[in-house]
Amino acid sequence: MKARSETLDIEVEVAGEQIAGTFLVPRSKIPGVLFVHGWGGSQARDIARARGIAGLGCVCLTFDLRGHAQTREQQETVSREDNLSDILAAYDRLAAHPGIDTSAIAVVGTSYGGYLAAILTTLRPVRWLALRVPALYRDEDWTLPKRSLDRVDLAQYRHTRVLPSENRALAACAAFTGDVLIVESEHDDFVPHETIMNYRAAFQKTHSLTHRIIDGADHALSGETCQQAYTSVLTGWATEMVIGARVGGAMPGEYS
């Protein structure tokens, strides 16, 4: 993502002399951003935010997980394994875009989508990872329909201390070396503070870690003010990451 430089001589016709100059030209490839919505959601909310981030000079891709939107009839049978396959397919489609710098891909995941996005980082290269209210699930029953999981047990599980060695998503976070944004809702009845702190504690090898709490927000960001607050946080972080890369930030694994 560093600029390509090219030296040249500039003719000064009035003086009949030359002065030295340097063109700084951005690389032709640009970052890609994959949005992964939460359980029961759709790409509708993501599209609005993707438009803003696309304005930074990124190629963005939003999509609907199976069991949602036009395939909602599958919601009773779709599993976490199925939806992870959806995310892998979407990632590969984004990475295949001719304008994408495949070393500069961001993934933005919400709730269930954040949980799966964390796991994705062990299967595909991800440079930037944004997780809004990332949910947490036990590793067991991975192939069972997601709707059949015990909600009472999950609620209890999310209030406990969980180590990376005990959970696939947290293990992925522990191995991640890129830049991370975690966004928490102050009044979240589905993803409590304990779950957020499990994620935060797992990220030990990141290049940077940003944690923001949206005051007064519930899990779904029901109020428009909360929606705007999250959009502002996400766009600001993405701007910092993208611009930082363009002015010569190091790639993961190249930190000095």
What is the pLDDT of the chain when averaged over all its residues? 92
The per-residue pLDDT for 3 is 63
In a domain, 224, yes or no: yes
User: For 17-63, how does the pLDDT look when each residue is reduced to its tens digit (9 = 90+)?
Assistant: 887 888 776 667 889 999 999 999 999 989 999 999 999 989 999 99
Q: What band does 2 get if pLDDT is binned at 50, 70 and 90?
A: low
What is the residue type of 247? V
Give the DSSP letter string of 104-126. EEEEEEETHHHHHHHHHTTTS--
Does residue 255 surpass a pLDDT of 50? no
- More confident: 1 or 253: 1
| Span of 24-38, 40-54, 78-92, 173-187 with lowest mean pLDDT | 24-38
Rounded Cα distance, 211 and 213, in Å: 7
Under 8 Å between Cβ of 226 and 197: no
Contact of 129 with 180, CB cutoff 8 Å: yes
The pLDDT value given to residue 63:
93
Tokens standing for residue 57: 């000079």
* Domain contains 122: yes
Tokens coding 118: 């964390």
| pLDDT beyond 90 at 153 | yes
* 82 inside domain: yes
pTM summary value? 0.89
In a domain, 108, yes or no: yes
Question: What integer pLDDT is reported at residue 254 of this predicted model?
Answer: 36
- Strands 59-61 and 128-132, sheet pairing: unpaired
Residue 215 lies in a domain: yes
In-domain check, residue 10: no
Given a cut of 80, whether residue 133 has pLDDT beyond it is: yes
Number of structural domains the chain divides into: 1
Assess contact for 105 and 95: CB atoms under 8 A: yes
Q: What is the pLDDT of residue 247?
A: 65
- pLDDT at position 106 is 97
Report the first-to-last Cα separation within the chain, whole angstroms: 17
Tell me the pLDDT tens digit for each residue of 196-252: 999 999 999 999 999 999 999 999 999 999 999 999 999 999 999 988 876 665 443
pLDDT at residue 251, as a whole number: 41
Flag whether 14 is in a domain: no
> What's the mean pLDDT in 99-122?
97
- CATH number of domain containing 80: 3.40.50.1820
Please check whether residue 184 lies inside any domain of the structure.
Answer: yes
Range of the domain at 69: 34-246
